[in-house]
Each structure stands twice: as structure tokens, then as C-alpha cells.
Amino acid sequence: MNRPTYRVTELLGDGIGGELSQAIHRLAEALPVRVEFIPVDLRVENRRARGKILYDEAVELINTTKVALKHPTATTEESPNAVLRRKLDLSVIHRPVYTIPGVPTNFRRELDLDIVRIATGGTYDDPGRMIGDDGAVSLRIVERRPVREAARYAFNLARKTNKIVTTASKYTIQKATDGLFEKVANEVADQFPEVPHTIELFDALLGKVIMSPQKFQIVLVLNEYGDFLSDMACGLAGSLGIGASANLGFDAGAVVRVALFDAAHGTAPDIAGKNLANPTAIFLAFAMLLYQIGEISLGQAVKNATLDLLREGVRTPDLGGAESTESFTEAVANEVVQRV
């Protein structure tokens, strides 16, 4: 029987990126579908040698395959993530953050948050300027389109998963920017009457997530708030190094047009080439990619096999275990085969 084939752009990275790429290929072999990875070399030397043309090629390919998996890249003159986000108009970042039983954390509660963050604007698109020597100013930008795209994505996710959406901002103080954000989010919420929607002030939300994490499921926020919340939530979950994200671009009908999946961690130069890299984050990113292409049960198999093994103590040294990148990958691949 012919296995369905999916084409995926694979953006090759620096440091542990090579080992993670091998791990992903091994894992993909365990699936009953064929994943054809089309590589684009985003390693430093190639970026320096080929510059803009390389990014143009990457963008053209991703626009064709619609999905991409990105390995960590060293930041040099530019951040490849920022360049790709801009060139592909990736306006939304979806970052699931959850505690994993067995993974060490200082937080004694369970946390399971889907952070949906507007990836552009806020205070991050304007570096600001000095006014004389003693003052400085920067613009805060909120635009209807990315807020609407993020809100539709968040409410659709809630509809599919029976979850609650919480919007959080400082609308009482930042009346224009955060007021517009809440207004657009409310307009979208009205189209999803069956989805519970709660509104919080962002500062209060931070405290409440720590005190009562079970009350929050999908949190929709502007750019900088998403940045702060993601790191806080990852710190609580003990998983700064094992988180993954989807970077999403939408068409005019607010349907996902392109999606780029990546791990939150960097290139880990200190352990590169030593067979010590933990591939959990890139496996979780790959699981999100499988959901995106409609292979929901395969995505669940990859995610659950990875998390179950971590729970059972099958772990790489960064999580206190003794597995190598290869032996952990082999264990996950074998587990996936049993489940699909």
C-alpha cells in the first residue's frame, strides 16, 4: 500500500542542530506516512555566504510546502527567526506550556497553558529614540489584522478542544492599544458563543496563573505580554529547554497559510557533537507539525510517546538521565511504532 507523502521544509541549524536533524529523520521513519524533508541550510557559514538569496529560497520553499521545521540557529548579525517571521508574515505564535510529571520543577502544581501571542507589534517593532539626553520614547503598535488572526486561531483551538479562552491586557491604562486588542478579541469571541471567554488584567493574570493555574487554558495576549508569560510559564513548568512553538501565517480568510515549528532552546554549543542533546523539544515541535497537516493521531502518538518515556525516567543528562540523543530517539521511535 502506498504511504501518504508529506513535504516538509527542514531548516538546518547550528550547534546541536545536526544531531536534532538526524533524530527527527529517525523518528519520522517510525511513522506509517512518508515525510520528505527538503533541507535549507541556515547554518552560519551558509547564511554569511549567501545572505538574502538564501532567505528568499527558504521563503519560496516554505510557501510551497506550507509547513517547516526549524532547528536552532546561532544569532549573528540578524536573528533568522525574526527574518523568517517578517518575510513569511508569521503573525501569531502558539506556545503550549505544561508540566510533565517527573520533569523537575520548583512549582508543585499542574500547569497546562496554550499561549497564543500576537507575534508583531506591541512595543517590539520600534526600538525608540532619545529626546535630548534625559528622555526617551517608543511607539506601541497594535493592529486589527494580527489580533483578529490570533483571536480566531485561539477561539478555534478552544472550540476543538473544549477549552476556555482568557484575554489579558492592560486595557484600563493602555486604553487605545490594549482597548483595541480587547475590542477585536470580543468581536471574534461573539462568533464563538459556545466558547467560554474570560478577561483579565495582565498583571493580575501573572499572579493568578501561579496561584490557580487550573483556571487558565488558552491565553491570548499581545506580543510583549506573550513574551513575559511564556518565560514565566516555562519556568514554572521547569521546561525552558523542552518547549516548542508554532509560528503561524494566515490567508485573507484567517486560515493558516504557512506554519513554522521550532524548539524554544538554542544551539547549545557547549554540548554540540557529543550525542548529549535532548531532542524532546524538536519532537514536540514535530508533533505540532503533524497536527497541522491533519495527522492528529500521529501527532498525539509522537507527543505522548515522548512524554511517557520522560515520565518513566528515560531521559537525557540535562533532565538527570543517562540516555544519549541517539538512545532516547531510538526509545521514542520504538514506542511510536507500538502506538500507530
Q: Which residues bind ligand NAD (CB under 6 A)?
A: 16, 72-75, 81, 241, 262, 265-271, 277-278, 281, 318
Around Cβ 287, how many Cβ atoms within 10 Å?
26
Residues in the chain: 340
74 vs 256 by CB, closer to ligand NAD: 74
Task: State the Cα–Cα distance between residues 334 and 27, nearest whole angstrom.
Answer: 9
CB of 196 to ligand NAD, least distance (A): 33
**C-alpha distance from residue 252 to each of 124, 196, 255, 276, 293 (Å):** 24, 26, 7, 43, 19
71 vs 148 by CB, closer to ligand NAD: 71
Task: State the Cα–Cα distance between residues 117 and 128, nearest whole angstrom.
Answer: 22
- Helices and strands (H, E) in the chain, number of each type: 10, 12
CB of 39 to ligand NAD, least distance (A): 16
Around Cβ 34, how many Cβ atoms within 10 Å?
13
Task: State the Cα–Cα distance between residues 261 and 282, nearest whole angstrom.
Answer: 8
10 vs 200 by CB, closer to ligand NAD: 10
237 vs 271 by CB, closer to ligand NAD: 271
18 vs 266 by CB, closer to ligand NAD: 266
Task: State the Cα–Cα distance between residues 39 and 53, nearest whole angstrom.
Answer: 15
Q: Contact at 8 Å (CB) between 157 and 163?
A: yes
Give the distance, in angstroms, between the CA of residue 6 and the centroid of all CA atoms in the same chain: 21
144 vs 274 by CB, closer to ligand NAD: 274
CB of 92 to ligand NAD, least distance (A): 17
- The residue among 199, 200, 218, 221 whose CA lies nearest residue 124 is 221
Q: Contact at 8 Å (CB) between 266 and 15?
A: yes
200 vs 262 by CB, closer to ligand NAD: 262
Q: Contact at 8 Å (CB) between 140 and 177?
A: yes
Q: Contact at 8 Å (CB) between 167 and 197?
A: yes
54 vs 184 by CB, closer to ligand NAD: 54
Residue nearest to ligand NAD (CB): 266
CB of 82 to ligand NAD, least distance (A): 10
Cell of residue 25, nine digits:
529523520
Q: Contact at 8 Å (CB) between 90 and 84?
A: yes
CB of 243 to ligand NAD, least distance (A): 11
CB of 276 to ligand NAD, least distance (A): 6
Task: State the Cα–Cα distance between residues 43 and 45, nearest whole angstrom.
Answer: 6
CB of 114 to ligand NAD, least distance (A): 19
Cell of residue 159, nine digits:
472550540
81 vs 120 by CB, closer to ligand NAD: 81
CB of 55 to ligand NAD, least distance (A): 14
CB of 178 to ligand NAD, least distance (A): 28
